[in-house]
Amino acid sequence: MCKKIKKAMLEQFKRLYHEKGVRRFYIGGAMGVHIWAGELVLQLRGQPGYEDIELVVVLPAPGHSARWDVRSRKRLEQLLKNCTEQLTIGSQPSPENYAKQNRYLADHADFLVAVSDGEGEMVGYARKKKMGILRIHPDTAAVDGDVWGDGA
């Protein structure tokens, strides 16, 4: 299922690039979908015609990945090494800094691509801001949202 979700994410990133003019992508640097998104954006940036893509990694605090497994930490390090910009929200990991990180991401983007089967905090905040939201279902990789006007 991970491959299907990543394929759906990449398709949505390409559509946002071509149809909505998105050139700057933000991720939160969390293990899992955030890392996938960053890797996909960098993969896309490496293809002809996509060289103007920017990746911004917004971390909640220094050392937030200290307890991660080695492989996951190395993947984040590669993203940080190859991103356009890196921002750190707070001085130490805390629930407040994770919430601030999510708000920063939504406050600086026009669209949200979320792997979600419901209305989590980030999707709810994006909806309040009237952002374009694309949800990729974690069990089916089906895309729904209000961005394209075609049901996906």
Tell whether 152 is covered by a domain: no
- pLDDT band at 112; cut points 50, 70, 90: very high
58: three-class secondary structure by DSSP: strand
The CATH number of the domain holding residue 17 is 3.40.50.450
Q: Which two tokens stand for residue 122?
A: 């980030």
pLDDT beyond 80 at 148: no
Q: Looking at the 3D structure of the chain, how many domains does it have?
A: 1
How does pLDDT run across 81-92, given as a tens digit for each residue?
999 999 999 999
Tell whether 42 is covered by a domain: yes
Tell whether 54 is covered by a domain: yes
Cα-based distances in Å from 92 to 89, 98, 142: 9, 10, 36
Tell whether 92 is covered by a domain: yes
54-59 and 24-27 as β-strands: parallel, antiparallel, unpaired?
Answer: parallel
Tell whether 151 is covered by a domain: no
Residue pair 143/136 in contact (Cβ under 8 Å)? The answer is yes
Q: Which two tokens stand for residue 21?
A: 């003019």
For 91-101, give one letter per residue: b (16+ CB within 10 A) or e: eebeeebbebb
Residue scoring higher pLDDT (26 or 130)? 26
Tell whether 44 is covered by a domain: yes
For range 133-142, the mean pLDDT: 95
| 138: containing domain | 2-145
Cα-based distances in Å from 43 to 83, 134, 147, 149: 11, 20, 23, 27
Tell whether 150 is covered by a domain: no
Q: What is the pTM of this model?
A: 0.93
Tell whether 20 is covered by a domain: yes
Residue scoring higher pLDDT (114 or 121)? 114
